[in-house]
């Protein structure tokens, strides 16, 4: 699908990978709605790209539905491109010091990362199904979810995060199969380590040590490199139902 003149919605678009994606899609001529927890940050990115902003906690389905309705009103049509970048990266041992369990971390992580992605995908697919097909492949839309390399290489302390990201990778194929009759593709991107707010608090020595584990290029990814892959997925109609690692060949060590 060509990106120019299309409508798009990016969750977590007020920061990091989502903001870079919103900027790239807008730069290619799409009208972009930015959905984020923090409306002021979403509005600031929206203002810089001529887009629109909506607020929601993605783990609250009613809030996601209301935000979709607002985005459709503001964009003038349902988004043909939906990219889910909203997510959190909590870390905890399953059984912590003195036997303390981390079920609260597990629950919160699944609620935001997995349920949030599922709610956004559900509302996106339902709204896209009413659009007219476009392009040579008669597509109605593309949904791109964000997994993580922790999907396959979860480190110590990442049980909740890896479970949430593994589930996002696993739902890609059945969702693509289900929505194929509507001409809607579903893909997931599994990033390695990227320079964003999620990683900026890492001490310099940890960042240097992490960079050394990335074969090539030996550095953290740039958010626009994630956005470049979003562009390729949207414009290449044969990409469907799979998860692509974007990681400089990194394989995370156990801890
Ligand atoms: P980021 O800069 O922290 O951006 C995430 C955005 O999502 C923030 O604006 C955040 O808002 C928002 N958000 C968090 N919880 C939300 C909720 N419940 N409802 C709505 N918005 C919410 O992080 P990022 O690095 O761009 O991460 C984007 C995605 O990539 C995440 O799913 C992350 O797991 C994944 N990922 C990142 C990396 C990496 O190295 N950066 C690697 C692999 C996967 P607040 O700041 O207000 O909470």
pLDDT of residue 199: 85
Q: What are the tokens at 186? A: 């579903």
Is the dihedral angle over the CA atoms 97, 155, 165, 86 positive or is it negative? positive
Categorize the per-residue pLDDT at 99 as very low, low, confident or very high, splitting at 50, 70 and 90: very high
Taking alpha carbons only, the member of 161, 14, 190 closest to residue 86 is: 14
* Residue 161 bears catalytic tag: yes
pLDDT of residue 11: 98
Cα of 72 vs centre of ligand 1, distance in Å, is 23
For ligand 1, is residue 148 a contact (CB within 6 Å)? yes
CA–chain centroid gap for 127, Å, is 18
Cβ partners under 8 Å of residue 202, min gap 6: 210
Q: What is the mean pLDDT of the chain?
A: 97
Cβ partners under 8 Å of residue 83, min gap 6: 8, 9, 10, 11, 18, 21, 25, 143, 144, 146, 230
For residue 206, is pLDDT > 90?
no
How far is Cα 109 from Cα 239, in angstroms, rounded to an integer? 28
How far is Cα 103 from Cα 93, in angstroms, rounded to an integer? 10
Cα of 33 vs centre of ligand 1, distance in Å, is 16
Return the exposure string of 38-53: e unless at least 16 CB atoms fall within 10 Å of the residue's CB, then b.
ebebbbebbeebebbb
For ligand 1, is residue 87 a contact (CB within 6 Å)? yes
Cα of 190 vs centre of ligand 1, distance in Å, is 13
The pTM score is 0.98
For ligand 1, is residue 247 a contact (CB within 6 Å)? no
Question: Which ligand 1 atom sits nearest the alpha carbon of residue 42?
Answer: 9
For residue 136, is pLDDT > 90?
yes
DSSP three-state, residue 5: coil
For ligand 1, is residue 18 a contact (CB within 6 Å)? yes
Condensed to tens digits (0 to 9), the pLDDT of residues 44-76 reads: 999 999 999 999 999 999 999 999 999 999 999
For ligand 1, is residue 168 a contact (CB within 6 Å)? no
How far is Cα 170 from Cα 95, in angstroms, rounded to an integer? 26
Selected catalytic residue, list 37, 118, 119, 161: 161
Helix (H) or strand (E) holding 141: strand 141-146
For ligand 1, is residue 243 a contact (CB within 6 Å)? no
Helix (H) or strand (E) holding 186: strand 184-191
Cα of 217 vs centre of ligand 1, distance in Å, is 23
Average pLDDT for residues 172-195, to the nearest whole number? 98
Higher pLDDT, 206 or 194: 194
For residue 210, is pLDDT > 90?
no
Average pLDDT for residues 173-183, to the nearest whole number? 98
Cβ partners under 8 Å of residue 33, min gap 6: 7, 8, 9, 10, 46, 51, 52, 53, 54, 71, 74, 75, 79
DSSP three-state, residue 105: helix
Average pLDDT for residues 22-33, to the nearest whole number? 98
User: Which among 11, 13, 16 is the best mutation to test ligand 1's pocket, defined by most ligand atoms within 8 Å of the CB?
Assistant: 16
Condensed to tens digits (0 to 9), the pLDDT of residues 102-124 reads: 999 999 999 999 999 999 999 99
User: Which among 9, 10, 11, 12 is the best mutation to test ligand 1's pocket, defined by most ligand atoms within 8 Å of the CB?
Assistant: 12
Percentage of the chain beyond pLDDT 90 is: 93
Q: What are the extents of the domains in the chain?
A: 7-246
For residue 204, is pLDDT > 90?
no
For residue 147, is pLDDT > 90?
yes
For residue 169, is pLDDT > 90?
yes
Q: What are the tokens at 250? A: 């990194």
Residue nearest to atom 15 of ligand 1 (CA): 87
For residue 208, is pLDDT > 90?
no
Tally Cβ neighbours within 10 Å of residue 229: 17
Categorize the per-residue pLDDT at 201 as very low, low, confident or very high, splitting at 50, 70 and 90: confident
Categorize the per-residue pLDDT at 78 as very low, low, confident or very high, splitting at 50, 70 and 90: very high
Question: Which ligand 1 atom sits nearest the alpha carbon of residue 13?
Answer: 9
What class, spelled out in words, does domain 7-246 have in CATH? alpha beta
pLDDT of residue 162: 98
């Amino acid at each position: 699908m060509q990106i120019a003149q299309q409508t798009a919605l990016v969750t977590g678009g007020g920061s990091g990978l989502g903001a870079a994606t919103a900027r790239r899609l807008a730069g290619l001529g799409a009208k972009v709605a930015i959905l984020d927890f923090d409306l002021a940050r979403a509005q600031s990115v929206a203002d810089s790209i001529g887009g629109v902003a909506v607020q929601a906690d993605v783990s609250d389905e009613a809030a996601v539905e209301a935000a979709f309705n607002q985005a459709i009103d503001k964009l003038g049509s349902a988004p043909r491109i939906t990219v889910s970048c909203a997510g959190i990266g909590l870390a905890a041992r399953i059984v912590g010091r003195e036997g303390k369990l981390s079920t609260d971390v597990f629950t919160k992580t699944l609620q935001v990362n997995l349920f949030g992605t599922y709610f956004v995908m559900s509302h996106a697919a339902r709204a896209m199904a009413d659009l007219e097909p476009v392009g040579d492949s008669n597509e109605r839309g593309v949904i791109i979810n964000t997994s993580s390399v922790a999907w396959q290489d979860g480190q110590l302390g990442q049980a909740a995060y890896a479970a949430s990201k593994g589930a996002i990778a696993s739902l890609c194929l059945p969702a693509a199969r289900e929505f194929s009759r509507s001409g809607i593709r579903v893909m997931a991107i599994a990033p390695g380590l990227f320079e964003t707010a999620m990683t900026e608090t890492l001490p310099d020595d940890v960042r240097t040590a992490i960079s050394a584990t990335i074969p090539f290029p030996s550095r953290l990814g740039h958010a626009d490199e994630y956005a470049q892959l979003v562009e390729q997925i949207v414009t290449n109609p044969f990409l469907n139902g799979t998860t692509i690692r974007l990681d400089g060949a990194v394989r995370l060590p156990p801890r």
